[in-house]
Amino acid sequence: MVEMRYYLRKYKKPITYVVVILFFGLLIFAGINTKSIDHTVYKEYVYAGNAFGTGIKKSIYAKNSGDTEDLNRKIDAELRNLDNQLSIRKTDSEVCKISYNYSAGGKYFLSSNICQYLKDELEIYKDSDGAFNPCITKLTGLWGIEDGKTKIPGKKKIKKALEQCNGDNLKVYKDYIVLEDEGMAIDFGATGKGIACDATRAILEKYDVKGAVISIGGSICVYGDKGDGEDWNIGIQNPRGKDGETIGIVQVDGTKTVSTSGDYEKYFESDGKRYHHIIDPRTGYPADNELMSVTIICENGLQSDGMSTACFVLGLDKGMKYANKKDVEAIFVTKDKKVYTTKGLQKKLRITDNKYSWEKYEK
């Protein structure tokens, strides 16, 4: 501070005072800032696992493994519990028991967390004009793409299945649901991994860890920071590349879930046409528009996962409108290798594959 007083005495003009004070202020701020972040304190601990029919990768930044071992076990146990509640493939799950054993119009009690997820799903159903449908199970089962089927179902069968997928026939209350038609089922195929990200975040908050990136299939829970106070760099999968091959990097802060839906996860080809696992509930056929993938970034995992599926079905224009209306960030990758983003991501996405290019979205 001796130098500061000297400068102030020597240069007496008011503007000089302001500049000098600002300069020293910045120096002091930078000093405090670098002191409060210790880049050597936090180490990365990596764990792998399986749930929701997909691989799970956990990268956790903490002071020592004592903080992460227990956390890792807790996350695994919670994801197993959730999967056992929600999976339509597990005959013992609450969702499966109801879906294949109910009478139309009857009250069926479910754990309250499941009722809440269904309420949130119904909101996405309504907001997306039914592009996202929590009762799509009969159709996805008929196509069976996730189970490795490679045949296009007959038109009559598709029409019949469509009738059993009417989301308006699902009524959700605090701790029970009513399915108003026979042959329906409820499905968390499009939101389960996002729900798992929310559950993971709730556990992370209880532990003494600095930051983490937990990827559960197409959904990634981004939490805290590495100890450097910076945003995370999350890769966006190349929809026509190998697993892990990215087209770009997006900066994401540690409060968000990043979910991607695309036509490349599970599909078969017939007569040069791609039949994938995201079904357009209006036609009964895989969504067929200009998109290859949609990524949604927002604080709620269920919303990001559900909306990525919804926007994929809606296509670029309606999807962009929906993302803007809900104030979430979105990345749309089209079949002609153009990348469109919501305004908030314009400076946060860096394309790294020169076959793809960012385009300003104008409408």
313 binds ligand ADP (CB under 6 A): yes
The residue among 209 and 314 lying less far from ligand ADP, judged by its C-beta, is 314
239-to-62, 143, 176, 264, 273 alpha-carbon distances in Å: 33, 21, 39, 6, 16
- Give, as ranges, the residues between 166 and 195 that touch Mg ion (CB under 5 A): 190
120 binds Mg ion (CB under 5 A): no
Partner from Mg ion, ligand ADP, none contacting 265, C-beta within 5 to 8 A by type: ligand ADP
Are the CB atoms for 99 and 88 separated by under 8 Å?
yes
One-letter amino acid at 210 equals K
Give the number of residues in contact with ligand ADP, rule: CB under 6 A.
Answer: 21
* Cβ contacts of 64 within 8 Å, gap of 6 or more: 43
305 binds ligand ADP (CB under 6 A): yes
263 binds ligand ADP (CB under 6 A): no
The residue among 194 and 211 lying less far from Mg ion, judged by its C-beta, is 194
Partner from ligand ADP, Mg ion, none contacting 132, C-beta within 5 to 8 A by type: ligand ADP
Sign of the CA dihedral 115, 116, 121, 122?
Answer: positive
Output the six-digit token pair for 327.
Answer: 């104030």
Are the CB atoms for 140 and 146 separated by under 8 Å?
yes
Least separation, in Å, of the C-beta of 188 and Mg ion?
10
136 binds ligand ADP (CB under 6 A): yes
204 binds ligand ADP (CB under 6 A): no
Residues forming a β-bridge with 213: 59, 222
Binding mask 266-285 for ligand ADP (x = CB under 6 A): -----------xxx-x----
β-bridge pairing 329-334 and 257-262? unpaired
Output the six-digit token pair for 156.
Answer: 């009559």
Closest CA to 261 of 222, 297, 209, 223: 297
Among 211, 218, 248, 315, interactor with ligand ADP by CB under 6 A: 218
The residue among 303 and 308 lying less far from ligand ADP, judged by its C-beta, is 308
Least separation, in Å, of the C-beta of 38 and ligand ADP?
37
Binding mask 252-281 for Mg ion (x = CB under 5 A): ---------x--------------------
Among 62, 142, 189, 292, interactor with ligand ADP by CB under 6 A: 189
The residue among 67 and 265 lying less far from ligand ADP, judged by its C-beta, is 265
Partner from Mg ion, ligand ADP, none contacting 140, C-beta within 5 to 8 A by type: ligand ADP
Q: State the number of CA atoms in the 13 A half-sphere of 36 facing the CB.
A: 7
Across the beta sheet with 357-358, the strand order is 43-51, 54-62, 211-216, 219-224, 257-262, 291-298, 329-334, 338-341, 357-358
Separation between Cα atoms, residue 79 and residue 188, nearest integer Å: 14
Among 265, 326, 331, 339, interactor with ligand ADP by CB under 6 A: 265
Residue-wise burial string across 14-24, b where 16 or more C-beta atoms lie within 10 A, e elsewhere: eeeeeebeeee
Are the CB atoms for 166 and 179 separated by under 8 Å?
no
309 binds Mg ion (CB under 5 A): yes
The residue among 68 and 260 lying less far from Mg ion, judged by its C-beta, is 260
One-letter amino acid at 82 equals L
Residue-wise burial string across 316-354, b where 16 or more C-beta atoms lie within 10 A, e elsewhere: bebbbebbeebebbbbbbbeebebbbbeebeebbeeebe
Among 93, 257, 261, 295, interactor with ligand ADP by CB under 6 A: 261
Least separation, in Å, of the C-beta of 127 and ligand ADP?
13
Output the six-digit token pair for 18.
Answer: 């302001």
- Residue whose token pair is 């991607």: 260
Measured at CB, which residue is nearest to Mg ion? 309
Which residues lie near Mg ion (CB under 5 A)?
A: 190, 261, 305, 308-309
Which residues lie near ligand ADP (CB under 6 A)?
A: 132-133, 136, 140, 146, 187, 189-190, 193, 217-218, 261, 265, 277-279, 281, 305, 308-309, 313
